[in-house]
């Protein structure tokens, strides 16, 4: 990397700059390493590395789409969860950061709880501020690295957003799809709150029973009860809101069969991606008072992924190699000649000399006493007189 700092120092700057606010990174560099560096330089070095990292992700995406190489990893059971979280821009607007989390899960007997539990390990993330289609394209880099196409079973636990389901269609249309249990609970609660009121005793008694039933009984039973409630209260002011929530669950009936999922050791929660929002994006990019330039989002996220996925060393080597290669290639390119329109000709020199002589003659003819304020106090001094 260019600049007055060694590659080791620049790596330290970029790593700290992607972990801490730039001012705090500057303080740590001064205290721990005695490095005299400005906040602006910390930002510049960090963002330069981030832009290269983001460029390398796009480059790898294009390579995978063109060559379709075989993945090396072959997980037995792969879990993926996708979600979005908002970050504020400098102009006051909010931008959605999309994240997909991958993990390998298995069922184990828990001695303390005396039951079979599902545990997810080897979690990694991919995040981007791109629109849904571009996000799906770029996520192929992490999908390929995790060997998603070779997994014996893929389970996708998410909410029912259309763009998330399209993401699953793109990468693994045969995945077992599960609506996050807490998300489904929210729609059941929506029906009860609309009918009874959120703070009413009736709702407080009704909801725990329905929530438990949703998790332990076949989904059709819960849906039938909810539909019956709506039938009996079609004249209620919130009847349309109730029906919309019921219809949402009915359309996703196969995705809310939680007794079946639990019986087969399939996860039903998306806490993995919610944690991903915190560790990848929020911990660095959503602190008090922070606002971001739109063009800085993906570069910072690229560095955050390198840290959170524990691939910093490999990522930094790739960043350094790309920079050195680009720098060497730019040196070998022939220097561009000055366009004819920008060259100074002899005629230009003669014209400048004539103009200089003209200005000199005018200065010699000036009579400064005419503008003296003692003689003519009423006369203002001209602003542009030669």
Q: Which helix or strand (DSSP H or E) is residue 119 part of?
A: strand 115-128
Which pTM value belongs to this model?
0.81
The sign of the torsion formed by the CA atoms of 183, 187, 188, 189 equals positive
Q: Which helix or strand (DSSP H or E) is residue 29 part of?
A: helix 22-33
pLDDT bin (cut points 50, 70, 90) of residue 116 is: confident
User: Worst-scoring range by mean pLDDT, 2-6, 9-13, 61-65, 276-280?
Assistant: 2-6
What percent of the chain is modeled with pLDDT above 70?
89
CA distance 100 to 107: 22
Rounded to an integer, the average pLDDT of 290-296 is: 96
Q: What pLDDT shows up at residue 367?
A: 58
Please write the tens of the pLDDT for every residue from 149-161: 999 999 999 998 9
Q: What pLDDT shows up at residue 326?
A: 86
Average pLDDT for the chain: 89
Does residue 370 carry a pLDDT above 80?
Answer: no
Q: What pLDDT shows up at residue 83?
A: 96
Q: What pLDDT shows up at residue 193?
A: 96
pLDDT bin (cut points 50, 70, 90) of residue 110 is: confident
Question: What is the chain's Cα-based Rg?
Answer: 32
pLDDT bin (cut points 50, 70, 90) of residue 384 is: very low
Does residue 383 carry a pLDDT above 60?
Answer: no
Does residue 362 carry a pLDDT above 80?
Answer: no
Rounded to an integer, the average pLDDT of 318-342 is: 75
Please write the tens of the pLDDT for every residue from 117-153: 889 999 999 999 999 999 999 999 999 999 999 999 9
CA distances from 104 to 122, 124, 152 (A): 6, 10, 11
Please write the tens of the pLDDT for every residue from 9-26: 999 999 999 999 999 999
Residue of 381 and 175 predicted with greater confidence: 175
Q: Which helix or strand (DSSP H or E) is residue 83 part of?
A: strand 77-88
Does residue 375 carry a pLDDT above 60?
Answer: no
| Closest by Cα among 103, 117, 132 to 274 | 103
Does residue 381 carry a pLDDT above 60?
Answer: no
What percent of the chain is modeled with pLDDT above 90?
75
Q: What pLDDT shows up at residue 345?
A: 72
Q: What pLDDT shows up at residue 261?
A: 95
Contact in structure between 222 and 248 (CB atoms under 8 Å): no
């Amino acid at each position: 990397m260019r600049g007055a700092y060694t590659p080791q120092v620049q790596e330290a700057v970029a790593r700290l700059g992607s972990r801490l606010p730039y001012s705090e990174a500057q303080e740590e560099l001064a205290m721990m390493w005695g490095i005299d560096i400005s906040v602006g330089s910390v930002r510049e070095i960090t963002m330069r590395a981030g832009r290269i990292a983001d460029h390398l992700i796009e480059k790898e995406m294009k390579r995978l789409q063109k060559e379709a190489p075989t993945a090396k990893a072959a997980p037995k059971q792969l879990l993926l969860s996708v979600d979005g979280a908002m970050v504020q821009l400098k102009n006051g607007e909010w931008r959605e950061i999309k994240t997909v989390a991958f993990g390998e899960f298995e069922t184990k007997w828990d001695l303390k709880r005396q039951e079979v539990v599902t545990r997810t390990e080897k979690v990694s993330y991919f995040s981007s501020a791109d629109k849904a289609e571009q996000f799906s394209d770029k996520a192929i880099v992490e999908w390929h690295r995790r060997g998603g196409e070779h997994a014996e079973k893929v389970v996708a636990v998410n909410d029912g957003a259309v763009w998330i389901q399209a993401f699953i269609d793109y990468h693994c249309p045969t995945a077992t799809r599960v609506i996050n249990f807490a998300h489904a609970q929210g729609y059941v609660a929506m029906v009860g709150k609309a009918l009874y009121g959120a703070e009413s005793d009736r709702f407080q008694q009704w909801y725990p029973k329905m929530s438990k039933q949703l998790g332990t009984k076949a989904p059709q039973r819960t849906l039938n009860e909810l539909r019956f409630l709506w039938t009996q209260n079609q004249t209620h002011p919130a009847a349309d809101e109730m029906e919309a929530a019921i219809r949402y669950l009915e359309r996703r009936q196969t995705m809310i069969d939680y007794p079946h999922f639990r019986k087969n050791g399939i996860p039903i929660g998306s806490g993995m991606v919610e944690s991903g929002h915190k560790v990848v994006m929020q911990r660095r990019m959503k602190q008090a008072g922070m606002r971001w330039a739109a063009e800085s989002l993906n570069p910072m996220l690229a560095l955050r992924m390198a840290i959170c996925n524990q691939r910093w060393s490999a990522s930094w080597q790739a960043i350094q190699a790309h920079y050195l290669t680009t720098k060497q290639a730019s040196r070998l390119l022939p220097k561009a000649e000055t366009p004819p329109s920008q060259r100074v000709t002899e005629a230009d020199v003669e014209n400048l000399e004539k103009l200089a002589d003209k200005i000199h003659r005018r200065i010699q003819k000036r009579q400064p006493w005419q503008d003296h304020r003692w003689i003519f106090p009423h006369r203002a001094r001209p602003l542009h007189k030669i």
